[in-house]
């Protein structure tokens, strides 16, 4: 638990995970990024991470997602861009 051992809870928790690119690009990613993606793996625990962040944050949790990714845990609102979406939850709601 990242919050353990501290007295003050953060106002907001922002989660900015790696997600796969939408389309095949001509340039390959740098070797370091390929290795990091292999180590990190898929986001199978994303919902648990959001719930832990909601317990920790005082005001809100923001999760950056690909614009075509499925919603997790019904966000309170979302802000959509051209390629990404920011799902937002009120803390503890």
Q: What is the pLDDT of residues 76-88, one digit of tens each?
A: 999 999 989 999 9
Rounded to 5 degrees, what angle do the CA atoms 64, 65, 69 make?
A: 165
Domains defined along the chain, listed by start: 12-90 (3.40.50.150)
Question: How many other C-beta atoms are found inside a 10 Å radius of the C-beta of residue 49?
Answer: 16
Give me the percent of the chain exceeding a pLDDT of 70. 75
- When mean pLDDT is compared across 33-37, 43-47, 52-56, the lowest value belongs to 33-37
Predicted pLDDT at 84: 93
User: What is the CA 77 to chain-centroid distance, rounded?
Assistant: 15
- Higher per-residue confidence, 71 vs 43: 71
Q: Which residues pair with 52 in a beta bridge?
A: none
Q: How high does pLDDT run on average in the chain? A: 83
Counting beta carbons within 10 angstroms of the beta carbon of residue 16, is it exposed (0 to 12), middle (13 to 18) or buried (19 or more)? exposed
């Amino acid at each position: 638990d990242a919050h353990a051992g501290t007295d003050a809870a953060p106002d907001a928790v922002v989660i900015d995970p790696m997600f796969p690119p939408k389309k095949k690009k001509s340039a390959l990613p740098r070797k370091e990024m390929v290795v990091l993606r292999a180590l990190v793996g898929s986001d199978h625990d994303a919902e648990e991470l959001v719930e832990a962040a909601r317990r920790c944050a005082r005001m809100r949790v923001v999760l950056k997602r690909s614009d075509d990714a499925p919603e997790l845990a019904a966000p309170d609102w979302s802000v959509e861009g051209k390629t990404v979406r920011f799902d937002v939850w009120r803390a503890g709601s």
